[in-house]
Amino acid sequence: MNIGYFISSHGFGHASRACAVIEKLTKIGDTNFFIFTTTPEWFFQNSLSLPYDYIETQTDVGLIQTNPFIEDMDKTIKALEIFLPFSDIRYAEYLRFISKKKLDLIICDISPFGLWIAEKLGVPSILVENFTWDWIYEHYLERYPKLNGHISFLREIYQLPKMHFTCEPYCEISKNSIIVSPVFRETRSSREKIRKQLRLSDEDLLVLVTMGGIPTDHHDGNIFVSTDNLKFLFPVNNPNVIIDNDNIIFLSHNHPYFHPDLVNASDLVIGKLGYSTVAEVYSHTKPFLFIGRKNFRESSVLEKFVREELISDEIEVNNIFSLQTLDKIQNLISTTKIKSQTINGADQIANIIHDKFF
């Protein structure tokens, strides 16, 4: 079966979720995947264990951000005015290009473009989401009334799929939603193997600092230099190689480690509230120091889930490198929570798709 997967490039959360589903579908059926996105190809090379075709394609606008926590709505609206609405004339060449792929099914992780393409080509479509862009944009409507037309257009597009999966923790339920458990990529290597590669001792406690798909430009780990057996791992824009400096390890943004393996190898995670980070931390029941995104509508939903399901606490982005954060790390890392058996929503999605379409 030829499957097109249209994936939002807003951070890496949507690509992470898509990769989890792709891996599961590959194990239960004969599939060929065509991935449409602007998420860098190296992410899929790192995340998938199967061959696929990668076609660089803008599949949505999402939110244009100046950093991991601040969105630029003026630039976002300008981008929406260029991207929307879809039309046969405007995208005729692209429709011809996609039709040559002879797709049997199109799956979209919140991509409205893929749903529209599927409708035009008469290909069954599936939506996978924990929010949709019309719901996100509603939050900004009072201050940016120009969004109203885009919201209406997107709301109609999101009614098109033949099947609709809503993943916990979800923001809104559609009347056609099939609710599934959190979707996460599963580990490949053991905790012991990764910790050995990172040159950690059995006594070392690893703190993973992650901002999802947006690397950290600024870091000041001096406050953590003399913290006994605590080790800190930072994915950053620079350097291009791995640097191990005392108890601080810097990784390049496109490092070779599989992120779920790093989560599993860690003893605590610090990160912004994003779907894939939350789902992967949840899957391993790790203590989580989270950084909220007050202006992003999804954030309160993820925060509620984290507070209910994980040993967790909140910190401010400006206080990551502070003695207060160090105190919170030491408090959380000494608290234990019995790991329960988690259901991967990717299994649920793959099994339902297989029964319906294969």
Residue 313 is predicted with a pLDDT of 96
Same domain, residue pair 174 and 72: yes
Would you state the torsion angle of the CA atoms of residues 230, 234, 240, 241, taken in this order, to the nearest 10 degrees?
A: 20
**114-138 pLDDT tens trace:** 999 999 999 999 999 999 999 999 9
Q: Is residue 326 in some structural domain? A: yes
Same domain, residue pair 238 and 316: yes
Catalogue the long-range contacts made by 80-85 (C-beta closer than 8 Å, 24 or more residues apart): 80/147, 80/150, 83/58, 84/150, 84/153, 84/154, 85/153
Q: Is residue 90 in some structural domain? A: yes
Tokens 């040559």 correspond to what residue?
100
Among the residue ranges 5-19, 57-71, 211-225, 235-249, the one predicted with the least confidence is 211-225
**33-64 pLDDT tens trace:** 999 999 999 999 999 999 999 999 999 999 99
Burial label for 270, CB within 10 Å (0-12, 13-18, 19+), is: buried
pTM over 0.75, yes/no:
yes
Same domain, residue pair 177 and 28: yes
Q: How far apart are CA 226 and CA 120, in angstroms?
A: 60
Among the residue ranges 38-52, 222-236, 267-281, 328-342, the one predicted with the least confidence is 222-236
Same domain, residue pair 165 and 63: yes
Query: CB of 305 within 8 A of CB of 240?
Result: no
Among the residue ranges 99-113, 138-152, 153-167, 228-242, the one predicted with the least confidence is 228-242
Same domain, residue pair 272 and 353: no
**244-292 pLDDT tens trace:** 566 888 887 678 899 999 999 999 999 999 999 999 999 999 999 999 8
Same domain, residue pair 316 and 349: no
Residue of 329 and 320 predicted with greater confidence: 329
Q: Is residue 232 in some structural domain? A: yes
Query: Which candidate, 39, 113, 46, places its Cα nearest to that of 261?
Result: 46
Domain CATH number, residue 349: 3.40.50.2000
Residue of 219 and 68 predicted with greater confidence: 68
CA 35 and chain centroid, separation: 16
> What domain count does the chain have?
2
By residue range, what is the domain housing residue 223?
Answer: 191-333
Same domain, residue pair 213 and 259: yes
Q: How far apart are CA 196 and CA 209, in angstroms?
A: 19
Residue 184 is predicted with a pLDDT of 98
Residue 241 is predicted with a pLDDT of 47
Same domain, residue pair 156 and 264: no
Q: Is residue 340 in some structural domain? A: no
Query: Which candidate, 303, 231, 309, 321, places its Cα nearest to that of 268?
Result: 231
Same domain, residue pair 139 and 227: no
Q: Is residue 70 in some structural domain? A: yes
**What's the whole-number average pLDDT of the chain?**
91
Q: Is residue 237 in some structural domain? A: yes
Residue 240 scores a pLDDT above 90: no
Rounded CA Rg of the chain: 20
Angstrom distances, CA of residue 193 to CA of 239, 245, 257, 341: 24, 20, 11, 22
Q: Is residue 186 in some structural domain? A: no
Strand-by-strand arrangement of the 178-180 sheet = 53-56, 32-37, 2-7, 105-109, 125-129, 163-167, 178-180
Same domain, residue pair 41 and 94: yes
Question: If pLDDT is split at 50, 70 and 90, which confidence band does 219 have?
Answer: low
Same domain, residue pair 350 and 323: no
Residue 299 is predicted with a pLDDT of 94
Residue 305 in tokens = 């889930």
Q: How far apart are CA 87 and CA 269, in angstroms?
A: 44
Q: Is residue 339 in some structural domain? A: no
Return the SS3 of 165: strand
Same domain, residue pair 217 and 286: yes
Q: Where are the alpha helices (DSSP H) in the chain?
A: 13-28, 41-47, 73-83, 92-99, 112-121, 133-138, 147-157, 191-197, 259-265, 275-284, 298-309, 323-333, 345-357
* Mean pLDDT value of segment 152-174: 97
